[in-house]
Structure 1
Amino acid sequence: MIIVVWSLGLWLTSVAKTQLETQVTLSPARTVDIIEQCFSGLLWKDAPGPGAINKRRRSLSDKTAVISIEIAPLPNGGSHVAVWMSAWQSKYGIANDSGVIGMKKKIIRRLEAA
C-alpha cells in the first residue's frame, strides 16, 4: 500500500512539473488580466520566480510550489503562454505541489475559452 501511495505521489509530481503551453488570439495585456483573475482571492500570492507572473499558494510554512507564467507576443497580435512549476519543496521525491496541477489547467482553459 505504501508503494502505491508513493508511486501515485511521484506520478502527480511529474504531472505538476510538466510545462503547459498555448497560443491565443488575445493581446498580452488581456492575457495578463485573465491570468490574474484566475488567481483572485486569498489563496494565492505573488512570489519571486523566473516568469512574468509568479504565484505561490498561501500556507503557514510558505514552502508551497511556485507557478510561473511567461507571456510572449506573437506577430499576429496574439500571445504565446507557458505555465510551469518553477520552485517546490520535496520529501522522498514527492513535491509539495498543492493546487499547482489544477491551477495550471484552469489558466490554460480560461485563456483558450476567452
Structure 2
Amino acid sequence: MEHLIRSVIELDERTDAMVRQEEKAIDDEKADLQKHFTEMEVDEREASKASAKDSYDAIYNEAMDVVEGIKENNRKKLESVDAVYKAHKAELVEEAFQLLDI
C-alpha cells in the first residue's frame, strides 16, 4: 500500500513538473510570438510611411508641374500685355488724359 501511495505521489509530482514545464514553454512561445508580431507591426508601419511619402511626393511633383505651367502661361500673357502696352503707350496715356479732361 505504501508503494502505491508513493507511486501516486511521484506521478503527481511528475505531472506538476510536466505542467510547469509546458506552461513555461507556452509562455515562452507567447513571448516569442508577441515579439514577432511587434516586429512585423513596426516593419509594416515603416513600409506604410515610405509608401505614403512616395505617394505624397508623386502628387506634390505633379502639382508643382501644373503650377510651373500656369506660371509660364501667366508670364507669357504678361509679356504680351506689356508688349501691347509699350506699342500703344502714348495713345493710352493720351486717351486717359482725355477721359480725365486734363
Shared fold per TM-score greater than 0.5: no
TM-score (norm 2): 0.25
- More helix per residue: 2
Higher relative contact order (CA closer than 8 Å, sequence separation 6+): 1
TM-score for both structures, normalised by structure 1: 0.23
More strand per residue: 1 or 2?
A: 1
Larger Rg computed on CA atoms: 2
